Amino acid sequence: MAAQRTMTFGVVVGNRGFFPDHLAKTGRDEIIAVLEAAGAKAIVLGPEDSKYGAVETYTESQKCAELFKKHAEEIDGIIITLPNFGEERGIVDAIRLSGLKVPVLVQATPDRSDNMTIAVRRDSFCGKMSACNNMMQYGIDYSLTTLHTESLSSPEFTADLEWFSQVCRIVKGLKNLRIGAIGARPTAFNTVRYSERILETSGITVETLDLSEVFGRINKMKDNDDAAQAKLAAIKSYVTTSGIPEEALMKMAKLGAVIDGWMKQSHIGISAVQCWTSMEEYFGVVPCTIMSMMSNDLIPSACEVDVPGTLSMYMLALASGSPSALLDWNNNYGSHPDKCVCFHCSNLPKHFFKEVKMDYQEIIAGTVGKLNTFGTCVGRVKAGGMSYARFSTDDRRGVIRGYTGPGKFTDDPLDTFGGAGVAEIPQLQKLLKYICREGFEHHVAANFSDVSKAVHEAARYLGWESHYHPGLDD
């Protein structure tokens, strides 16, 4: 799995002259120190650029905007810090003039109730409202801290900074994203139909590759091809393959090598693959292990050409820096109203399992024969907290919409095949009614992390409709 990259934030330090402006100096120093301690980089005016490196006048707004423009490719998000009331016009002008379309977090430093003399009184509590009002007027989207005022050194701001970083990673990660749709949607899976055109309005492009081209490229590849041999070695080191025919493993290796090569050549970020049942009938393996390996490397891959499914997986992976899986909301778990069985046959990433081995696909084997269905990743999903998400295109209304929320996988006993786990979701019955009434798919993305609130917030910046289950305080 790839390491989480360093975050870079443009910082606007607010200042208003008839408030104690020495607070702008200490506020700037503190936000830089806090960001550096979190492993992040600050792009901020220096004291040589403006008074204390803060932004108050229009000229200072211009300087801040020019600085941000120079670092536009680096900047993941903007943090407005208000060590005193702050000049709202200077703040919004700096953002508007920069031209940046990134998430914005507004932080205000609290006053001390035991010391509110004219020399140290901040009034950031009030200034934050003015800053937000002006951003609303300017059409600038922004995010708020958990508490109206938060000390930069507080645990609340530490948590908010991590949350905001997750939001920024999602928004930036989806910019100019290219998704590979490998094969046609299976006829029996109307549920995963989607609109490429609606995705394109959010800057997300779908590139297609027919299975005939995949099989044709595989047929031209020799067993001793370097790419095939490298993928074969990677498969054997990734999952236990005891009892799997070598012929099947070589087919998987060539399939993986061809997909890898096409994705690299076409600058594809994530993928969705046709499986049921063309892959088995006309090629003789399931693509599950190849897809599992990609997802485990933070390159999500969804089955049945579920392009919105792999997009949902990617949002979770961008936020958390850990692998996502695509699962079915599949079965009730006895009479427990807040528990259900989440299942796939399966291409779940290795990260999801207690233990995993390669096997054959028991469902499809009944139709095409066991020898044509080797390649699934079979095991029990481990216990732990998780987030789930599902975003889709609503073609009737021309929007992208979805839902997200927190849950957990449990250690409850479960005797079944494929990749399966017991999920516990607060007010699950309410969520299931929402899914059915709104006509969402039975596929859902999941991730072992607590990032659902970041996914929900990122959707707002993307202009997508998002439902948070079971609900938010704000």
167, 173, 174, 176 alpha-carbon torsion, rounded to 10°: 140
pTM for this one? 0.97
| Separation between Cα atoms, residue 400 and residue 386, nearest integer Å | 23
H helix intervals, 344-451: 362-368, 428-438
- pLDDT value at 21 more than 80: yes
Nearest-angstrom CA–CA distance, 208 and 446: 25
What is the token pair recorded at 318? 């961008």
Q: pLDDT band at residue 17, thresholds of 50, 70 and 90? A: confident
Contact 411, 281 (CB under 8 A): no
User: Would the CATH topology of 8-173 be identical to that of 178-468?
Assistant: no
User: Between β-strands 419-424 and 399-410, what pairing exists: parallel, antiparallel or unpaired?
Assistant: antiparallel
Is residue 208 scored above 70 in pLDDT?
yes
User: What confidence score (pLDDT) does residue 2 get?
Assistant: 53
Confidence of residue 320 (pLDDT cuts 50, 70, 90): very high
**Alpha-carbon distance values, 196 to 202, 206, 303, 394, 395 (Å):** 10, 6, 17, 11, 10
Greater confidence (259 vs 363) lies with 259
Confidence of residue 118 (pLDDT cuts 50, 70, 90): confident
At 166, the pLDDT band (50, 70, 90 cuts) reads: very high
Counting every residue written for the chain, the total comes to 474
Rg (CA), the chain: 25
Predicted pLDDT of residue 367: 87
Look at the block and give the residue holding tokens 């390159």.
Answer: 299
pLDDT value, residue 3: 57
H/E element, 35: helix 22-37
Its sign, for the CA torsion 162, 164, 170, 176, is: negative
Q: What is the mean pLDDT of residues 328-343?
A: 98
Q: Is the pLDDT of residue 18 over 80?
A: no
Question: What mean pLDDT is predicted for residues 242-265?
Answer: 98
- Mean pLDDT of all residues in 339-368: 95
Per-residue pLDDT reduced to its tens digit, 376-388? 999 999 999 999 9
In this structure, what token pair is assigned to residue 451?
Answer: 């990032």
Helix (H) or strand (E) holding 389: strand 384-394
Over residues 214-229, the pLDDT tens digits come to 999 999 999 999 999 9
Mean pLDDT of 170-198: 96
Question: In the CATH scheme, what is the code of domain 178-468?
Answer: 3.40.275.10
Domain boundaries, the chain: 8-173, 178-468
Answer whether residue 8 shows pLDDT above 70. yes
Q: How far is the C-alpha of 168 from the C-alpha of 175, rounded, in Å? A: 11
Overall average pLDDT of the 446-473 stretch: 97
Amino acid 52: pLDDT = 95
- What does the pLDDT look like over 421-441, one tens digit per residue? 999 999 999 999 999 999 999
7 pLDDT band, cuts 50/70/90, is very high
Architecture of domain 8-173: 3-Layer(aba) Sandwich (3.40)
Contact between 325 and 377 under an 8 Å Cβ cutoff? The reply is no
pLDDT at 116: 74
What pLDDT was estimated at residue 77?
Answer: 98
* Residue 284 in this model has a pLDDT that exceeds 70: yes
Of the ranges 121-125, 126-130, 283-287, 340-344, which one carries the lowest mean pLDDT score?
Answer: 121-125
Nearest to 305 by CA among 188, 166, 415, 212: 188
pLDDT score, position 391: 98
In terms of phi and psi (left: phi > 0; alpha: psi -120 to 50; beta: otherwise), the region of 317 is: alpha
What's the mean pLDDT in 105-123? 87
Instruction: Name the band, by pLDDT with cuts 50, 70 and 90, for residue 196.
Output: very high
pLDDT at 113: 84
Whole-number Å distance between alpha carbons of 317 and 67: 31
